[in-house]
A and B are shown apart, each in its own frame.
Chain A
């Protein structure tokens, strides 16, 4: 079964608008971490934001925020004030595995295109 689901293969957003990229996950481990990575067309993987399963508040990093709804097992990425440079693939990932975090799984990704 898929542990990470990203239901939007592609998204379009107008420059300066906000956009939400969906991510749902499946785990029976009470301790886990959720991550978002960006992959621009150049191919490198860039870490954006992290949310821990025990964190009470939603994570924020600059224009990125994570809408974490633990009961629904969702961890949506919100990008505010989109820029042309935000056009990229975005991957949601989960790390679980007791204290070592040995299991790290990715979703299939969402391709975001920012329109001028």
Chain B
């Protein structure tokens, strides 16, 4: 089944404790992206990747890191989480091009205390 998977689905952590949210897709998509969703703001892009070893900042990259060492994986790293990073996070992937929709993972609900 074609899908984007994320782990964990739920995470409660404390300020400053490094964490990684994994994302994997099995559709051989070049493009992958991370979003955070907050009430009233929709989805805001954190980082995106055009291919292996090619990443770029989205609209809200502060406090996040990403890496793309393999085509299928695109982990999101919070080196020192803070309470304002409490949010719902989505990973997505797609083919290149403006005509292609993104496929979304199930989301990760992160709470930073």
**Using a CB–CB distance below 8 Å, which chain A residues touch chain B?**
4, 6, 9, 31-33, 35, 37, 43-45, 47, 50, 52-53, 91, 93, 95-97, 99-102, 104-109
Contact = CB atoms under 8 A, between A and B. Distances in A.
Contact of A45 (B31, B48, B90): B90
Given A43-B88, A104-B33, A108-B40, A52 B106 contact: no
Interface string B71-113: 0000000000000000010101010111111111011000000
15 contacts: A9-B40, A31-B98, A33-B98, A44-B104, A45-B92, A52-B98, A53-B98, A100-B50, A100-B97, A101-B100, A102-B56, A104-B45, A106-B42, A106-B43, A108-B41
Interface of B: 31, 33, 35, 40-45, 48, 50, 56, 59, 88, 90, 92, 94, 96-104, 106-107
Contacts of A43: 88, 106-107
A106 B35 CA distance: 10
Contacts of A4: 42
